[in-house]
Amino acid sequence: MKPSISHFTLFLFFIFIFPVAVLSIGVNYGTVGNNLPPHSQVAQFLKSKTIITHVKIFDTNPEIIKAFANTNISLTITVPNGDIPSLTNPRNAIRWVNTNIKPYHPATNLHYICVGTEVLHWGPQNLIDNLVPAMKVLHAALVRTKVDGVKVSSPHSLGILLESNPPSNASFRPGWDVGNIAPMLQFLRKTKAGFMVNPYTYFGYSPKYADFCLFKPNGGLFDKATGKRYTNQFDQLMDAVYVSMKKLGYPDVEIIVAETGWPSGGDPQNTHANPANAAAYNGGLLKKVNSGVGTPLMPGRKFETYIFSLFNENLKGPSLDEKNFGLFRPDFTEVYNIGILRGPQEKPTGSSSKPAVPAAAPVQGKKWCVPKPDATGAALQSNIDYVCSNGIDCRPIQAGGACFEPNNVRAHAAFVMNSFYQANGRNDYNCDFAHTGVISSTDPSNGSCKYRS
């Protein structure tokens, strides 16, 4: 039957009054640079020029929080890892809310409080033990001080997974699963908050699976147990998280992508860090999360997603990769075009006319994981404690062992960090260690102390 004029008129009414939703995306706004624009300019740029609707920062900088007032952009702030134990005290938590939330909300649309960053993966143990209690006490402080609409969560690296391929075989690491993640998921379910994860396909890159990592056409990977085929690694990692949550009894808790991205430039050996690949990944991600398609095991689900990061940050490092994750340069020009800017745009092509860090010839050979030059002794000792409690043979750094000399924390940390990196798949994220590790192409072996490669 043909539609009547009235039906057609009603159709047009809905088209113009309720148009198809505009694409939106969240972004991580890091500030480790000495050439970045003022916070007020950043907030107004995002509001007026981009489709970015959610912003996440890594601290509680009051100037940033004030800059986003009355922009209608939702802002997620972060409790520094070191402050976690103090927030298990209710008085401290109320004081924290009165200082960092109440003066700004709701003029600034504060959305989430992240309690720490990747605490479970990198520790130390006292932070791990206090993480969920601090989340609960902080939530109670929000309720007591009558702050509405602000939720509490905590982002995790995917090092919390024991296995991710195939997704059907995924699970959280023993110990963390029941001891930390299950009570966290119970809290998130009760408070209707999301479980935050940081799935970086960049750190799982290999030339063989380049298209799989970059949302490009490929044959995919087949999971026999579920009969599902995966054509991109993002879906694989998200379903691995979902399966792990389901095994603990919490498949209904929302999943939030707190960080993911791809650098447009990097160290000479990382030739896959380039503008074309960054555009392919982040452009594919943008289409993916706004499509509403979901994943093979979570059809129809959309994920609140934050790209890392807003700007190239010139003081990050020491690797060039870390300096080049930005969508924009400090002068607000795009590093590459994926349709983030509002208004008529040229068709996304991959890169702008200004080059990022030029790629050099790849360095062939083996790779090792070593401490960054600026890593503190306390952080390196924490790395040693973590590695040696997770199944890595640390006897070589004990008295009488082949790698006991030189007897200092940096040398011992270098050996065990590399052992962990080599034993867990030699992915770049296995050498992150809360940003204290770096990949090296120089063999650090010394005399009888031989490093695995």
Q: How many CB atoms lie within 10 A of CB 253?
A: 20
Distance of CA 319 to the CA centre of its chain: 18
Nearest-CA neighbor of 307 among 267, 269, 339, 355? Answer: 339
- Show the DSSP H helices in 114-266 as ranges: 119-122, 125-144, 176, 182-191, 210-213, 233-247
The answer to whether residue 118 is catalytic is: yes
Q: How many CB atoms lie within 10 A of CB 72?
A: 8
Cα–Cα dist 218/147, whole Å: 48
Cα–Cα dist 130/183, whole Å: 12
Here the tokens at position 196 are 């935050």
* Residue of 163, 259, 313, 346 marked catalytic: 259
Here the tokens at position 320 are 């060039």
What are the backbone dihedrals phi and psi of residue 240, each rounded to the nearest 5 degrees, phi first?
-65, -40
Q: Per DSSP, what are the bridge partners of residue 396? A: none
Q: What is the DSSP string of 223-240?
A: ETTTTEEESSHHHHHHHH
* Residue of 118, 304, 322, 334 marked catalytic: 118
The answer to whether residue 163 is catalytic is: no
Cα–Cα dist 20/434, whole Å: 41
Q: CA 43, 352, 309: angle at the middle one, nearest 5?
A: 40
Which residues fall within 8 angstroms of residue 2, CB to CB, at 6 or more apart?
none
Cα–Cα dist 386/368, whole Å: 18
Which residues form the catalytic set? 118, 259
